[in-house]
Amino acid sequence: MTEGERDRQLQVLDVDECYRLLATEQIGRLGVNAEHYPLIFPVNFALDGTTIVIRTDTGTKLSAADHANVTFEVDQIDRGTRAGWSVLVRGLAEEVTAEHRAELVERTRASGVEPWAPGEHGHWMRLIPQQISGRRIVPGRLPPAFEPAAYP
């Protein structure tokens, strides 16, 4: 372990910083309980204020997430410095349907989320955060030792 490695720090991020980082990304990972596992699905998302908006097709993601406790994880990792940050949202998901008030449907669609995966993504989901937390690994003063495995 070099001196730089020893100086590495783990910082706990405050709520504002978590939301600021969330807004810099377009892809996150939705965690839903289904099929006896805590399944993880990468999804495109956008923010409507502090609400996370996801477009999806019918299937496991949608049926398991609707009205359930879900999580949403976003991270950014730098192999070179072996540093990065991650944010985890715990919240409640619900599908936005025609039964919701028109203003909410409109705001949800206006969030601009656009799926990268081809196919139908006709369903809209809102994830209302109940808790958000994040952490950041800050590299030490010295660059980390060169490690061949880190540069495949």
What is the distance, to the nearest Å, from the Cα of residue 110 to the centroid of all Cα atoms in its chain?
19
C-alpha span between 50 and 147 (Å, rounded): 40
CB of 107 to a second copy, least distance (A): 17
Give 97 or 145: the residue with its C-beta nearer to a second copy. 145
Phi, psi of 4 (to 5 degrees): -60, -40
Q: How far is the CB of 58 from a second copy (least distance, A)?
A: 15
Residues forming the site for a second copy (CB under 8 A)? 5-6, 8-10, 24, 26-27, 29, 31-33, 35-42, 69-71, 73, 75, 77, 79, 82-84, 86, 88, 90, 112, 114, 116-119, 137, 147, 149-150, 152
Closest contact distance (angstroms) between CB of 101 and a second copy is 26
DSSP state letter for 100: S
List beta partners, residue 85: 76, 136
d(CA 36, CA 83): 33
Q: Which residue's CB is nearer to a second copy, number 41 or number 100?
A: 41
Closer by beta carbon to a second copy, 126 or else 134:
134
Q: Is 101 in contact with 126 (CB distance < 8 Å)?
A: no
